[in-house]
Amino acid sequence: MSWVTGADGSPYGVTNLPYGVFRHDGQPPRIGVRVADVVFDLAAAEDAGLVLAAGALRRPTLNAFMALGRPQWTSVRQRLVELLTDPAHRPAVEPLLVPLDAVELLLPFEVADYVDFYSSEHHAGNVGQIFRPGQPPLLPNWKHLPIGYHGRAGTVVVSGTPVVRPSGQRATGEGPTVGPSVRLDIEAEVGFVVGVPSALGDRVPTGDFAEHVFGVVLVNDWSARDIQAWEYQPLGPFLGKSFATSVSAWVTPLDALADAFVPAPQQDPPVQDYLRQTPHLGLDLRLAVEWNGERVTEPPFAGMYWTPAQQLAHLTVNGASLRTGDLYASGTVSGPRRGQVGSFLELTWGGAEPVSVGGETRTFLADGDTVTLRATAPGPDGTTIALGEVAGQILPAR
């Protein structure tokens, strides 16, 4: 029971408590935690000695706090729950609550490296069928390792940031042409944020996932399919992705997702030793994609073939080091049915099957369109918690 108005029964109750960075009244950025429809100013709380985190909560990003490690993450969280539930703390804490609608939410952490995986079997299979019809939908390596690549960390933006339609080269019958993308798409993904770094040359085993990963964000990996299709051979996606990647303003700590871990799909063929995870768990996050406010698909994260712990082990098997602020995303989350896909490429089957959105016919994104990704997860005792949404509107090309 929280003394904060509206917290009990809210998907942002005290069992959730996602972290973010906000600006209020023209002051410098501050760390806060969301409860119901207010933001608890943690910089002020640490100033006042209500919570102690070695000064890490008085910084303009979450990075210093995320670097502290799991024991500190857990003890700070326990203290926040105490402050927000014990009425004795109300007089000290209540003045530090700011209405959510009075703040500007900023990118919550400084992104170190950004890696994007490709871990939904349904997504990879759909893409294979659309682009290589008549051939096996999965390439030979797909079930042996979680395919991934590096994206552009500098263009990761916070939810709400408008996305300018990218221009670039695309193929036509008469050779390449340059202009605004005509196949602008989304990818609904889940991102994992690294707090604790690892040393160059060391591996991080699957079992150490929770020691390194601080929390989870929703990710929209905007994709210009026409630019991507022309450029990606042989070195992979580049400008088709690098113009913008949106993340939620709230980072949901792993501790809030303790009830969301579920057995992951069985893997056949058996995976290599370094990818074994015991128990083999994924996360039961239920995503939803809203196109101009209309819910068009509901991708289920629980069915992802490769889990976040396996992705982390793979990312470091070659000795690559982790830094605080590393972000790795799951890849597009698609389930087996058309209403569960995480991209409009799949929803419209390569643009061949337009959909109706708010009475208008769409294949890919039109200028002015807004896409919002949402997600929920099981909380304790049959409750539901929400992840922060990630929204973006398409602006015309410059």
Residues in contact with a second copy by the rule CB under 8 A: 112-113, 115, 118, 139, 141, 144-145, 147-155, 157, 164, 166-169, 171, 175-176, 178, 200-203, 224, 227, 230-240, 242-244, 269, 272-274, 314-315, 317-323, 326, 395, 398
Per the CB < 8 A criterion, the answer to whether 22 and 32 are in contact is yes
CA neighbor of 316 nearest in space, from 282, 274, 259, 360: 274
Least gap, CB of 117 to a second copy (angstroms): 9
3-state secondary structure of 354: coil
Per the CB < 8 A criterion, the answer to whether 218 and 376 are in contact is no
Least gap, CB of 78 to a second copy (angstroms): 31
CA neighbor of 147 nearest in space, from 337, 304, 357: 304
State the Cα–Cα distance between residues 355 and 116, nearest whole angstrom: 27
Looking at the Cβ atoms of 57 and 391, the one nearer to a second copy is 391
> Would you call 314 a catalytic residue per the annotation?
no
Looking at the Cβ atoms of 224 and 377, the one nearer to a second copy is 224
State the Cα–Cα distance between residues 387 and 254, nearest whole angstrom: 11
Looking at the Cβ atoms of 167 and 384, the one nearer to a second copy is 167
Least gap, CB of 89 to a second copy (angstroms): 40
Looking at the Cβ atoms of 270 and 339, the one nearer to a second copy is 270
Looking at the Cβ atoms of 141 and 266, the one nearer to a second copy is 141
- Quick one: 319 exposed, middle or buried, by C-beta within 10 A (0-12, 13-18, 19+)? exposed
**246: its two tokens:** 């949106």
Least gap, CB of 277 to a second copy (angstroms): 16
| Residues contacting 209, CB < 8 A, separation 6+ | 308, 309, 312, 313
Least gap, CB of 18 to a second copy (angstroms): 25
Least gap, CB of 304 to a second copy (angstroms): 16
State the Cα–Cα distance between residues 168 and 192, nearest whole angstrom: 30
The Cβ of residue 62 has, within 10 Å, a number of other Cβ atoms equal to 26
State the Cα–Cα distance between residues 120 and 332, nearest whole angstrom: 7
Least gap, CB of 75 to a second copy (angstroms): 28
CA neighbor of 244 nearest in space, from 222, 212, 274, 277: 222
State the Cα–Cα distance between residues 303 and 195, nearest whole angstrom: 26
Per the CB < 8 A criterion, the answer to whether 342 and 213 are in contact is no
- Quick one: 27 exposed, middle or buried, by C-beta within 10 A (0-12, 13-18, 19+)? exposed
CA neighbor of 39 nearest in space, from 112, 114, 82, 95: 95
Looking at the Cβ atoms of 41 and 231, the one nearer to a second copy is 231
Looking at the Cβ atoms of 12 and 222, the one nearer to a second copy is 222
Among residues 24, 89, 122, 123, the one annotated as catalytic is 123
Active site amino acids: 123
